[in-house]
Amino acid sequence: MTSTSFSPGLSENRLRIADSAPGFMPLDEAHALHDTAATLLSKPDSVGIGVEIGTYCGKSTVFLGAAAEPVDALIVTVDHHRGSEEHQPGWEYHDTELVDPHSGLLDTAARFRQTMFDAELESTVLGLLAPSTAAARVWGREVDFVFIDGGHSMEAAQNDYDGWARWVRPGGALLIHDVFPDPADGGRPPYEIYCQARASGRFVEASAHGSLRVLTRIA
């Protein structure tokens, strides 16, 4: 695996660690995520904070942390670590190795911490263990970007958009993963909140990378 990105934080070792972490983001989209975050966090008007909604085991978080570290920025990644609907028993993406034997429930928190430890990003990435709705209630400041990659039910996606898009600073960006205009390619909720963002008059599409959409806040 070879890095094509410009950040000194995205080392071959971190690429290897991200590759080994359970997760679902294609490498080309992960690189686009990294480069977008690095650009936003290095701007003169940056506030030095980016937010990720939906951590899972930290695969995409490695790319965000690698973008933040060289400019002494922070990444806050929000997840209840019990998994989304598709991660539960009987569903396609259920991973029995991530089930906590004490509770009998999915628990990805320890695997996320392992990823951050191995990637040496524990001082750059702050893991917020909470549902995004609860975390949004106590959040209170603008950020350079919000990356939404949480639950893919309509309720979960809508809650993530309603709770977090408003914190993107003017000139910052809202990033949404798994946006599929064709229903045959994937679930609709991320596409629906992408359409809401564009229709709001606050965001305009800046770029698209596979299923990743980058929307700049203009108002």
Active site residues: 152
Could you write out the three-class secondary structure of 68-135? Answer: HHHHCCEEEEEECCCCCHHHCCCCCCCCHHHECCCCCCECCHHHHHHHHHHCCCCCCEEEEECCHHHH
Residue with tokens 């990444």: 75
- Cβ neighbours of residue 166 under 8 Å, at least 6 residues apart? none
